[in-house]
A and B are shown apart, each in its own frame.
Chain A
Amino acid sequence: MKKNILFLVLLTNIFAACEKDDFCVKNPVTSKLIIDFYDNTNRETLKKVQGFSVIAEGKTDSLFTNQSFNSISIPLNSLTTETSYIFKKNTTGGATANNNMATFSIVYDTEEAFVSRSCGYKIIFKNVAFSTDTNSWITAFTPSTIINLDDQSAAHVQIFH
């Protein structure tokens, strides 16, 4: 009888241990937009954006403020078909007068795809088109459209400044 009880306890342990087997290890599940920043004159070399702040239009909190990056990954809003970001650059000092603004807009379609039990569904962004306002610190960008945004292995857009 003692043996049976021990066996039952062991069994319960095994099953309790099986309860949560898989955690979603994929990070992120839904791809973000990766932008690399290059020097406008020497287009092969990465160039950091100084005093860099990013906020999406219509949001009150920034993704980050006053940083220095040559590559960023930013999320797209899956509930709408357009996400506009305001990129603020401040190369000299940080005084408000020296702020350089640029609006970078992304238009897309969304599609859901099942990944796994633990990760659930991801969003694939399709027919993605980029645009920016004229006369901003963004001189050029390439490419202007991508068909599928579903991969985080490389940068999606190059911005020259």
Chain B
Amino acid sequence: MIKAQHMFKYFISFCFLFLGAKSFCQEIQQEKVPQKIKDTIVYKTNYGLRLGIDLSRPIKAYFSSSYSGLEITGDYRIRKNIYIATEFGFEKETSIEDYSNSTSKGNFIRVGFNYNAYKNWLDMNNEVFIGFRYGFSLFEQTLNNYTPNVSDAENGNYFPATIKTPSKAAANLNAHWSELMIGIKAETLKNVFIGISVSYKILISAKNPEDFQVLFAPGFNRIFESETGFGLNYTISYLIPFSKK
């Protein structure tokens, strides 16, 4: 019994041992908090017009003989985290399918805004952004050739079809779409930015040629069966600074 009493005493005093430590810790924290508030230096960053070019398009054109295109990008910073953004240019692409071969070419413009979700250190000016765009393109599509699909594998294509070359051009086609993008931009040299972004596009409407379909719309890229598309941008841009805020 006596032994047990000694044990309890030991435990109870052990409990009190850290009480002091705990209150000591709190005192330190209280001292630290006001120090943080004293830091009031504001780092200013450049505001202005940023102009750029999409490098992925000339690269794609170099490797693919069925593509050519150019895209100019521009954005203007209106708030700390918000930019008005636009891209415009032209594209030409030949869609080579199993049963048809067609070429789309024309101009496009996309307008919208970017929201920078990245908190920069000091006076750095990098971005991890999400963006929204409305896109519009005016183009023409030429059906170069096609082969009617009479494939009948179970009978070993008993009656084959021949290739037809109508070279039928349909002008004044258009497409509207909305676009969600996500990307990064990094200031690599003073006022020079490298950016990469991907976008998911949803077609709002497209004017199809008579008895055919728009397979590729400039600025939209390939139109998938579900009327959606994907885009990739790799841009180099220069910021013309107007003011520092």
Q: Which chain A residues have a beta carbon within 8 Å of chain B's beta carbons?
A: 8, 11, 14-15, 18, 21-22, 24, 28-30, 32, 56, 59, 61, 63, 74-79, 83, 112-123
Given A14, A56, A59, A117, which contacts B215 in the complex, CB threshold below 8 Å? Answer: A117
Given A21, A24, A30, which contacts B150 in the complex, CB threshold below 8 Å? Answer: A30
Among B149, B156, B212, B225, the most chain A Cβ lie within 10 Å of the Cβ of B149
Q: Which residue of chain A lies nearest to B210 when distances are taken between CB atoms in the complex?
A: A114
Residues of chain A within 8 A (CB-CB) of B196 are 8, 11
Given A56, A61, A63, A120, which contacts B149 in the complex, CB threshold below 8 Å? Answer: A120
**Min distance, Cβ B36 to any Cβ of chain A, angstroms:** 30
Residues of chain A within 8 A (CB-CB) of B147 are 120-121
A56–B158 touching, CB < 8 Å: yes
Q: Which chain B residues have a beta carbon within 8 Å of chain A's beta carbons?
A: 95, 97-100, 146-152, 155-156, 158-159, 161-162, 196, 198, 211-213, 215, 224-225, 230, 232
Q: Which residue of chain A lies nearest to B97 when distances are taken between CB atoms in the complex?
A: A117
Given B146, B152, B224, B230, which contacts A121 in the complex, CB threshold below 8 Å? Answer: B146
A119–B149 touching, CB < 8 Å: yes
Once bound together, how far apart are the Cα atoms of A111 and B151, in whole Å?
16
Once bound together, how far apart are the Cα atoms of A32 and B161, in whole Å?
14
B100–A120 touching, CB < 8 Å: yes
Once bound together, how far apart are the Cα atoms of A74 and B154, in whole Å?
10
Residues of chain B within 8 A (CB-CB) of A123 are 148, 150, 161
Given contacts A28-B151, A29-B149, contact A119 B158 (CB under 8 A): no
B99–A119 touching, CB < 8 Å: yes
A11–B232 touching, CB < 8 Å: yes
Given A18, A77, A119, which contacts B159 in the complex, CB threshold below 8 Å? Answer: A77
B148–A114 touching, CB < 8 Å: no
**Min distance, Cβ B158 to any Cβ of chain A, angstroms:** 5
A115–B149 touching, CB < 8 Å: yes
Can you sample 8 A-B contacts with CB below 8 Å?
Answer: A15-B232, A75-B150, A115-B149, A117-B97, A117-B213, A118-B97, A119-B149, A120-B149
Once bound together, how far apart are the Cα atoms of A12 and B211, in whole Å?
34
Residues of chain B within 8 A (CB-CB) of A14 are 198, 230
**Min distance, Cβ B104 to any Cβ of chain A, angstroms:** 12
Given B97, B161, B198, B224, which contacts A11 in the complex, CB threshold below 8 Å? Answer: B198
**Min distance, Cβ A108 to any Cβ of chain B, angstroms:** 13
B146–A78 touching, CB < 8 Å: no
**Min distance, Cβ B73 to any Cβ of chain A, angstroms:** 18
Once bound together, how far apart are the Cα atoms of A14 and B156, in whole Å?
36
Among A14, A29, A114, A122, the most chain B Cβ lie within 10 Å of the Cβ of A114
**Min distance, Cβ A79 to any Cβ of chain B, angstroms:** 6
Residues of chain A within 8 A (CB-CB) of B148 are 30, 78, 112, 120-123
Q: Which residue of chain B lies nearest to A31 when distances are taken between CB atoms in the complex?
A: B150
Among B161, B211, B232, the most chain A Cβ lie within 10 Å of the Cβ of B161
Q: Which residue of chain B lies nearest to A32 when distances are taken between CB atoms in the complex?
A: B152
A30–B149 touching, CB < 8 Å: yes
**Min distance, Cβ A140 to any Cβ of chain B, angstroms:** 26
Residues of chain B within 8 A (CB-CB) of A122 are 148-149
A22–B100 touching, CB < 8 Å: no
Residues of chain A within 8 A (CB-CB) of B95 are 117
Residues of chain B within 8 A (CB-CB) of A75 are 150, 152, 155, 158-159
Once bound together, how far apart are the Cα atoms of A61 and B224, in whole Å?
40
Given contacts A78-B161, A118-B98, A120-B100, contact A21 B225 (CB under 8 A): yes
**Min distance, Cβ B154 to any Cβ of chain A, angstroms:** 9
Once bound together, how far apart are the Cα atoms of A61 and B232, in whole Å?
51
Residues of chain B within 8 A (CB-CB) of A113 are 211
A79–B232 touching, CB < 8 Å: no
Once bound together, how far apart are the Cα atoms of A41 and B225, in whole Å?
51
Instruction: Please give 4 more A-B residue pairs, beta carbons under 8 A apart, in addition to A29-B149, A78-B150, A117-B95.
Output: A14-B230, A22-B224, A121-B147, A123-B150
